Structure 1
Amino acid sequence: MEANRQETIKQDYQYCEEIIKHHSKSFYYAFSQLPKAKAQAIFAIYAFCRKADDSVDLIDTKEEQLLAVANLEKELSLFEQGNPIDHPIWRALTDVFERYDLSVEPFYDQLIGQKMDINFAEPKDLSELETYSYYVAGSVGLMLLPVLASKSHQDLTQLAINLGIAMQLTNILRDIGEDFQKIDRVYLPIAELAAENYTKKDLEHKIINANFIRIWEKIAQRAEYLYDDVEEGFRYFDEDSRLPVKLSSAIYRGLLNAVRKNKYDCFTKRNYVTPLEMQRIYRSIK
């Protein structure tokens, strides 16, 4: 019986690993460096977050999106009560919660972030953008923290949140064109656009001028400030987790330089860190 359970859990984790391998090569590259048990835990958490994202991204109407998130919230509530539905992600997460001291609250916060996307309102200022970034990405940092710093006696809550926010700001800066062209969404704060007299018409015409670059750089420099701040706390993570955390942070930070190298073209080019660059980053921080 125990052998059957172990085989099922093994397959459940493989299911989760395939999801991260398919959707985020940079995350997979970084976290596959972890010891197997920790890597599996990260893959399971990522699979939940991917499921949350897909409940918004892969569904067309607002009503269906809200229903999908509500259904996921019900599944999470059942999981919290000890009655998880029979699905590889929930079985894997059950095992993760048994092995690590995770809280369910960041998982609920992640779903709040999904609802914020469904009922999207352009952020008024950088503070509102960071609040949104907490719910969709800082929450992920809190989910991962008990796995990556399982032996730490330091309070790393804010560090985990800041790393998630920095990564989300990076995503936003990389995906400005895609977000606007595909889903008519502008994450650049209204106040920053107004201060530089940069309009949605300019976005529509893919204008990269000094005004656009100043807006982009202001947000990028905030992300880089958070990356720097987080770097000071890497030593408090478990010894076997420091390298993957540093690596994921450095690779994401590298996306900002990829955009700069492409002369801030977030409209017609897909900016990414190449496998060769990932290997260079890995060698530089090892």
Structure 2
Amino acid sequence: MTAQMQVQEDFEYCEGVIRRHSKSFYYAFSKLPEEKAQAVYAIYAFCRTADDSVDETSGNAAQLRELERVNAELGRFARGEYIDHPLWRALRVVFNTYDMDLEPFYDQIKGQRMDLSFEAPQTLEDVETYSYYVAGSVGRMLLPIIASQSKVDCTDAAVNLGVAMQVTNILRDVGEDFREKGRIYLPTEELERVGYRKDQLAHSEINEGFIQVWELMAKRAEALYDEFITCISNFDADSQIPIVVSAQVYREILTSVRQNNYDCFKQRNFVTKQEMIRILTDSAK
């Protein structure tokens, strides 16, 4: 196999990861120029590997070992060592092509550690701190690819988008997170303020107090989406439409939950393919 064929296979492996795990991200980022799209796929595959080391391993000790394995491989990668795996080979091409920063990759792993030693967030600020490590860090990873020509620092905008998406995930997955992981990512102080109890959440109760807390977080996410959009002209011209589409598709999840009367317990809230096409069409105008 030639070196070029190997590179192509490695990026196809990464593309397969994003296609399997996130139809909305794949739909948006596949509209990038091929080289940039492949770079995004490789970064997504890294984040998925870090996330899966926690989610697909049983037992806290085994999860920690698996996460430390990924961290050790990242350390080897940082030292320029060769790692015989399509993810790391593809990432090496990305790092050789773009002015990449390793810090957000380590921040992503820190976010997975926070999940392993989960503590319910007390405040909305705690939610946003956690959201930075697991998702805002991804915005920073992507920045050298989607804002490579920018004359201004787009870091805050990229982080805002990642945090907004993670808060959206939390609001979409309230029931699933509690059922499958026993976790409540809604801020404790806000739940106590409205008198919404854990047993009510366990019974999937949707009342005025729950909606107040949900909307508090949703409005914060929407404010972050808005802040991101105001900076979109600073991103590379060939990247603006795909990242606006990814932001708008994710934002629409909040609309979906509202249309389903805030049922994020028993209903899977998502954006349809038809809606994604409409968002793409509108964004391209």
Q: TM-score, normalised by structure 2?
A: 0.99
Give the superposition deviation at 1:139.
Answer: 0.2
Partner of 1:135: 133
3-state SS, counterpart of residue 2 of structure 2: helix
Partner of 2:192: 194
Counterpart of 2:172 in structure 1: which amino acid?
R
Counterpart of 1:282 in structure 2: which amino acid?
L
Partner of 1:216: 214
Give the superposition deviation at 1:84.
Answer: 3.2
Q: Deviations over 1:197-224 (max 9, x none)?
A: 0011011110001111000000000000
Partner of 1:272: 270
1:229 aligned onto 2:242:
no
Q: TM-score, normalised by structure 1?
A: 0.98
Identical-residue share of aligned pairs (%): 53
Partner of 2:236: 238
Give the superposition deviation at 1:191.
Answer: 0.3
Partner of 1:153: 151
In structure 2, C-alpha distance between the alignment counterparts of 1:158 and 1:229, rounded to whole Å: 9
Counterpart of 2:16 in structure 1: which amino acid?
E
In structure 2, C-alpha distance between the alignment counterparts of 1:282 and 1:209, rounded to whole Å: 35
Give the superposition deviation at 1:230.
Answer: 0.5
Partner of 1:34: 32
Show structure 1 runs of 4+ deviating over 3 A: none
Aligned residues: 284
Give the superposition deviation at 1:284.
Answer: 1.3
> Retained in 2: the 8 A contact 1:55–1:68?
yes
Partner of 2:62: 64
Counterpart of 2:244 in structure 1: which amino acid?
K
Partner of 2:122: 124
> Retained in 2: the 8 A contact 1:174–1:271?
yes
> Retained in 2: the 8 A contact 1:75–1:84?
no
In structure 1, C-alpha distance between the alignment counterparts of 2:139 and 2:76, rounded to whole Å: 23
**Which one of the candidate residues 247, 250, 257 is aligned to 1:249?**
247
Over the aligned positions, Cα root-mean-square deviation in angstroms equals 0.7
3-state SS, counterpart of residue 240 of structure 1: helix
